[in-house]
Amino acid sequence: MSRVVLVHGIAQQFKGAQTLLGDWYPALCDGIGLAGGPPVSPAQVAMAFYGDMFRPAGHRGLGIPELDAGDVEEGFERELLLLWSEAVADAEDGTGRPRATARMRASDTVQRALNVLSRSAFFAGLSERLMIYSVRQVRRYFTEPELRARIQDRLVREVTDRTEVIVAHSLGSVVAYETLCRHPEWPDLTLVTLGSPLGIPRLVFDRLLPRPDAGSARWPAPVRRWTNIADRGDAVALVKELSPLFGSRVQDLAVHNGAKAHDVRPYLTARATGQAVTDGMKRSSSERAEGARRAPVAPPGVRGDAGDAGEAVDPGPARSTYG
């Protein structure tokens, strides 16, 4: 059973759980190794994969449909693109100059934002249509309740009574937070969020379920420890510190990921991430061991209600899956 469950972010629609684990697992092990943590076998790590839910239905076109600035929807999609472009520009030019966009046509403003993003190191290698399609995935998660529930159910399928740590990146941190709030019956878990957009006002934070109250979000009941890690140049993690919004129990840490500030791999290889995962596994393991020591032990030959006296019973592997 998986001790660590990983949750990916946007733009993974053409991959799969094993494909992503091929990148994530070695990076996770490197971070744990830097922190002096114990080895984690592949069998102890699972990926809650939902990217296929955003894969376009079969059509004559190749891959993602052709999209340009004119296809960006007013409201959520446009505002998120503009926020990203301003964050990228600030991070890369360091000028903090105001951007005169108010008098530009909406389509021109979006095109300018796309141009900034496409030229940035942050979004290097992403086509314009892929950036638009990625923003659309975030918008669809928040505006399509059935899709939202199906995505969260993918995480539910992977969390078992053996799970100790959930590591969530980007939109995956939103999925993890909302799913944890839905399942207060889960055992104590450690949550590690990487490059999280959870704190973005209006577009993300104020759309969370359960709804925040007076600027404060509900603490996810199963979470014993929450470490939030962000690169200061990560445009997706616009709000770097989550403790003012989610409570002082959140430990906010800063890392440096190089040019690709939002890439999950340098997040995972960071010592801070490895330490958070290691601490989560140590705490869960020690608590389980303490619980086992305190559990009453039946005298030899006494079986209780599970079987006849003197009968040896093999409990078999733990297979309980929550949800």
* pLDDT, position 307: 36
pLDDT digits (tens, 9 = 90+) for 201-259: 999 999 999 999 999 999 999 999 999 999 998 989 999 999 999 999 999 999 999 98
What mean pLDDT is reported for the chain? 82
pTM: 0.81
pLDDT digits (tens, 9 = 90+) for 1-55: 799 999 999 989 889 999 999 999 999 999 999 999 999 999 999 999 999 999 8
Positive or negative torsion for Cα 252, 191, 6, 178? negative
Label residue 171 by pLDDT band (50, 70, 90): very high
Q: Which of 11-15, 62-66, 171-175, 219-223 has the lowest mean pLDDT?
A: 62-66
Q: Is the pLDDT of residue 183 over 50?
A: yes
Q: Measuring CA to CA, how many Å separate 273 from each of 188, 228, 251? A: 19, 9, 12
Distance, in Å, from the CA atom of 158 to the CA atom of 151, rounded to the nearest integer, reads 12
Q: Measuring CA to CA, how many Å separate 38 from each of 21, 30, 201, 228? A: 19, 11, 38, 22
Ordered domains of the chain (ranges, CATH):
4-54+143-285 (3.40.50.1820), 69-142 (no CATH)
